Structure 1
């Protein structure tokens, strides 16, 4: 209750006389997304929060990349979670150091790109970790080193942050994954969710997926998006490998496709990328016990255990809450302070 009262006071306290940061919208033409098979545009935009002193100083700032979840765009940080005002207040209260915060868009035809490199949906990891990073370092006064650059994300964005940690410790040295989805092929994203996979098996073309989105069918399209990101096959129907098959009234693994599919998840790749993970300055993950995406609590706990077994330093934080209701509180009390403490400024 005390934390809730603090959050309400923090988020509603007046900003009279408080220095404010600014938001810049940046357009970028992406070579990394060119040639994608789903028809997504190569011209994208991303938002940049510049801290209050930016316009009146010559200093350089650490940078945080903030990755949104599936179904959202980067606008969710600005207009729903009120991140700019939140940062202004955290900076004014000296709870965090000033920082630049970059908010890329990663929503695609299937509601989310999963921030992955794919010959089907495009090279979204390269788009962010190479193209946007280079553009931000060119156009803004950043501390352009991995020691001063972090990546954090929610849900699909948490999944993306963990994969960036595994693949790009030379770009991002501090990582925070909030309620990361899809760390293993279990429960509502893997073997066992018949509604999701029956929907995928029903799709014949991308137009079927478009119609499912219009009908509010989340899981089948999300499953197709995940397959397109981590198990693509441009030569196959729908340009993906299908890891399950229907046998009578049952859904069963289709081998070797299912094992190959499961091996693409972060939980199965900890040992492969252990050396990269150990290069990080700091890594944190969290989840709420009441998350409505049933796979997130057990798979995040299992991922943390795999990190511990591999002797990868990290922080696991758990809390009573669901997938989204406490995001603002956790950004204020946990995420931004953690990132600020561990970034070199």
Structure 2
């Protein structure tokens, strides 16, 4: 089955994104957002004077009128849940990460008034952020869920932070823990066992922003038996030949370098718990480069491995901002989309007039339409 995708414009810059989002106006900065601010890598395009935060960018490319939605009449305490989950798989992380994590769970309007089961979308936040995208825009989510009872779904935001609010990329690492297994063998079964879900891959999707955008792509390509569709906003995608340039930027960004190194080139015996390539061409260093490329790079291999599983995804959508301040984004995004198209995928890229941020009205304009058409809503 071919994957179905969408396109709008095209462009992106990059020294590499991952941490936070660029605010589009001072009016969007609030007390909750202030806790999420994190440093960008130093680049010629992104200066220290530029404010950083999560959502919400204006998008001049979407002209459709806003739908009239009914007012929210749902008590937040019953439909917007914060669940504490203690992981067995993260207990012995070498970096000292706390295995006690948080899940934000958002239930649809009809949840307590019916016996029906619902699809689930798992949302993965980025480095420097917390699982709070739908928390901050819960009223919009609740409105859209009430507007179309036939397309209601559950959303689960998964905490991906390691020690000192660093980041896991939701991958297995001998330093930070078995994060991929945590998601696929602990969290997904936990949600299916405790909530009325349609416990099938066709009714399970993934979404994410920034480094969480990479994470949802990676998890979905590796586990099409668990997820059937993915929507990624500003994900980390890197052409292999761009690693030296990317390292130049990452070396100036200690928080990202540490998180990425511990995830993809972990070394429990090293003082920093990871190793960084020096690009001297030696066999040992070349092998280390391969580990660093196992993250945002090796895109052709990722797609090849996915195809070998012979379980086609229903849909993929990648959203980027034309004003994203990280220079290598454009090449990585275009190359990844070219590889997808060569293998039967159709136009995966949406490009918007925004920076490194979540689009304005993300839930109504992008999230709900994509997953309404991509997931199976029949029990």
TM-score, L = length of structure 2 = 0.74
Q: Name which of structure 1's ranges 304-313 and 153-162 shifts more when overlaid on structure 2.
A: 304-313
Give structure 2 stretches of 5+ with no counterpart.
1-59
> 2-side partners of 1:262 and 1:58: how far apart?
46
SS of residue in 2 equivalent to 1:69: coil
Give structure 1 stretches of 5+ with no counterpart.
200-218, 248-252
Higher relative contact order (CA 8 A, sep 6+): 2
Structure with the higher fraction of residues in helix conformation: 1
* Equivalent residues in 2 for 1:247-286, closer than 5 Å: 254-264=285-295, 265-269=297-301, 270-276=303-309, 279-286=312-319
* Equivalent residues in 2 for 1:330-341, closer than 5 Å: 330-341=362-373
> 1-side partners of 2:346 and 2:298: how far apart?
16
1:59 aligns with 2:120: no
> 2-side partners of 1:126 and 1:228: how far apart?
17
1:107 aligns with 2:138: no
The root-mean-square deviation of aligned C-alpha atoms, in Å, is 2.9
> How far off its partner does 1:196 sit?
4.2
> 2-side partners of 1:15 and 1:76: how far apart?
20
- Is the 8 Å Cα contact of residues 186 and 299 (structure 1) preserved in structure 2? no
1:233 aligns with 2:267: yes
TM-score, L = length of structure 1 = 0.81
Alpha-carbon displacement from aligned partner over 1:126-184 (angstroms, at most 9, x marks no partner): 11122111111111000011111101111111101111112111111111111112444
> How far off its partner does 1:277 sit?
7.6
Query: Equivalent residue for 2:277?
Result: 243
> How far off its partner does 1:331 sit?
3.1
- Call closer, same or farther: CA 1:263–1:51 in 2, change over 3 Å: closer
The one of 75, 92, 95 aligned to 1:35: 92
Query: Equivalent residue for 2:57?
Result: none
- Is the 8 Å Cα contact of residues 251 and 257 (structure 2) preserved in structure 1? no
- Call closer, same or farther: CA 1:275–1:300 in 2, change over 3 Å: same
- Is the 8 Å Cα contact of residues 208 and 232 (structure 2) preserved in structure 1? yes
Query: Equivalent residue for 1:224?
Result: 258
SS of residue in 2 equivalent to 1:335: helix
Q: Name which of structure 1's ranges 293-302 and 138-147 shifts more when overlaid on structure 2.
A: 293-302
